[in-house]
Structure 1
Amino acid sequence: MTVQPVKRQKLTESVAEELLSLIVRGGFPPGHRLPAERVLAEQMGVSRASVRDAVARLEALGHVGVRQGDGIYVLAPSAATLSQPFRGLLTRLPQTARDLLEFRRMLEPEVAALAAQRVTDTQEDDLWISVDAQVGAARRGIKLVAEDLHFHALIARIAGNGVVTLVLDTLQELLHDLRQRDLPGDLPDLTIRDHRAVVQAIASRDPVAAHAAMAAHLDTVIQTASAALSFSPDGGSAHD
């Protein structure tokens, strides 16, 4: 009897789902080497080909990595792998860029407010060092893309929420692509001015001011992006 492709596909999906379930539940933590393909096939009652296909699927999604001659290892979640499914949308659908920026506007002011409540003296120093690095880069005529990413990632880490950090890292991965491809050059004076205001509010341990400063900064970002990407800040087309 000939096996229909859809049945093989469903079996592969079932094996992949079972392995992913074990990973998510902590049965196979990050850095752990999975049992050999033969062992997994015997334990799950499937063919080695089904296990191989399932592992390939998990590898494509960034859950595992195959080391030639060594084995299959569980990978920690990363922004680079989580952002992969969205990259095609960002290229094909202009509104995806607007949606990303709107999502950032909804999330990051809350993150800044949380950072203002949790920041330590050492972390405050790190924020001012980041701003100084931006000033130095601007004076040398260097675009602030890397410094900007570092600044916002630093605030997310100060907020101390692992899920938020991973989400924002993923968002920044996508926005980095967008900035490199579609957005106009830096506006360093505006960026540094806004970043200083955010740091001052966080350093003052004032969550309300930190929220407002970050919101104002991202409003400026959206206004700049809307002109470059032909959408209006209120969600419509810039040409409507």
Structure 2
Amino acid sequence: MTFEQVESRKISEIVRERIEHMIQQGDLQPGEKLDSVAKLAEQFQVSRSAVREALSAMRAVGLVTIKQGEGTFVNQYDFSQMFDPVKAERIISKKEMLELFEIRKIMEVGAAELAAEKRTSDHLTMLKSALDDMKRASPKDNIGEAADVAFHLAIANAAGNQIMIDMMDQLSDTLRKTMFESRRIWLFSEEQTLERLYQEHFNLYEAIKAGEADEARNAMLEHLSNVEAALVKA
């Protein structure tokens, strides 16, 4: 496939928009494999980290599947769901959400600790990009679940454990659904706001950036426990 050179605006967002447009137009078909990150970066004339961020964001909303060692593949996707938060398929039961939080506390608390020890500059760039997207979330429009998923998947990547990365990839679709529901519930709670939710992610980012493994572990546990508590009260 061929791409025109993109301008430097919010690079990862532009890359994502161009690929999404190709999927919408049918230039990329469900099941089709995208070019490698290196080749996409060369074709777009952007950094590899920008391409990875774009693909991670697309994976978070179910547009693509990233298979370790195989590549990135286009999914069958109804674009009308992207801006329709009340689609039934996005709803997941409270019991399922709470069960997932049990698993997330086992996996992601340790992942945050490892990420603080192993993160690279590219990992920090991906985390900061997702964090910036989260900052722009709004109760009236995009409540930030895609950026939330991208942030947590980036932590798994920063942890540097391939088995954990694969497990988080497999959970990504369920994570997307639960994060939409948990954010929706969070917004309707009188004590919680998007700003506080953002701040918890920011604290986690700062701990990972500083290489403070214990602080990162505690920040992740506190964040997951707070969201879980909001779900229990709902």
TM-score by length of 1: 0.52
How far did 1:141 drift?
4.1
Shift in alpha-carbon separation, 1:222–1:123, aligned structure 2, 3 A: same
1:169 and 2:169 aligned = yes
Aligned length: 145
1:192 aligns with 2:193: no
* Alignment CA distance shift 1:102-1:133 (3 Å): same
Give the superposition deviation at 1:140: 7.6
Q: 1:202 aligns with which of 204, 208, 216?
A: 208
**Which residue in 2 is equivalent to 1:19?**
none
Aligned twin of 1:142: 142
In the alignment, which residue of structure 2 is the partner of 1:120? 120
8 Å CA contact 1:127, 1:151 repeated in 2:
yes
Which runs of structure 2 are paired with 1:1-240 in the superposition (5 Å)? 95-138=95-138, 141-180=141-180, 184=185, 186=187, 187-228=193-234
Distance in 1 separating the partners of 2:203 and 2:94: 31
Runs of 4+ in 1 over 6 A off after TM superposition: 75-78
Pairwise CA RMSD of aligned residues?
A: 3.1
Q: 1:140 to 1:212 in 2, by over 3 A?
A: same
Closer/same/farther in 2, CA of residues 179 and 195 from structure 1, 3 Å limit: closer
Distance 1:166 1:77, change over 3 A: farther
The answer as to whether partners of 1:143 and 1:185 remain within 8 angstroms in 2 is: no
* Distance of 1:136 and 1:161 partners within structure 2: 30
Q: Rate the CA distance shift 1:141–1:210 in 2: closer, same or farther, 3 A.
A: same
- Larger displacement relative to structure 2 (105-114 or 134-143): 134-143
Q: How far did residue 127 of structure 1 move?
A: 1.7
Q: 1:222 to 1:172 in 2, by over 3 A?
A: farther
Describe the SS at the equivalent of 1:184.
helix
The 3-state SS of whatever aligns with 2:136 is: helix
The alpha-carbon deviation at position 166 of structure 1 amounts to: 1.9
Alignment CA distance shift 1:133-1:76 (3 Å): closer
Residues in 2 aligned to 1:110 and 1:181: alpha-carbon distance in whole angstroms:
24
Name the CA distance, whole Å, in 2 between partners of 1:210 and 1:108. 10
Structure 1 residue 197: deviation in Å? 0.5
SS of the aligned residue for 2:143 comes to: coil
8 Å contact kept, 1:115–1:160:
yes
**One-letter amino acid of the structure 1 residue matched with residue 111 of structure 2:** V
Q: Quote how far apart the aligned CAs of 1:95 are.
A: 3.4
Answer yes or no: is the 8 Å Cα contact 1:100–1:171 preserved in 2: no
Identity over aligned pairs, percent:
24
Q: 1:143 to 1:128 in 2, by over 3 A?
A: same
For the pair shown, the structure with the greater C-alpha radius of gyration is: 1
TM-score w.r.t. the length of structure 2 is 0.53
Structure 2: gaps of 5 or more residues: 1-32, 34-69, 76-90, 188-192
Q: Distance in 2 between matches of 1:200 and 1:178?
A: 25
Distance 1:191 1:172, change over 3 A: farther
1:137–1:167 distance in 2 versus 1, CA, 3 Å: same
Q: 1:194 to 1:163 in 2, by over 3 A?
A: same
Amino acid at match of 1:199: Y
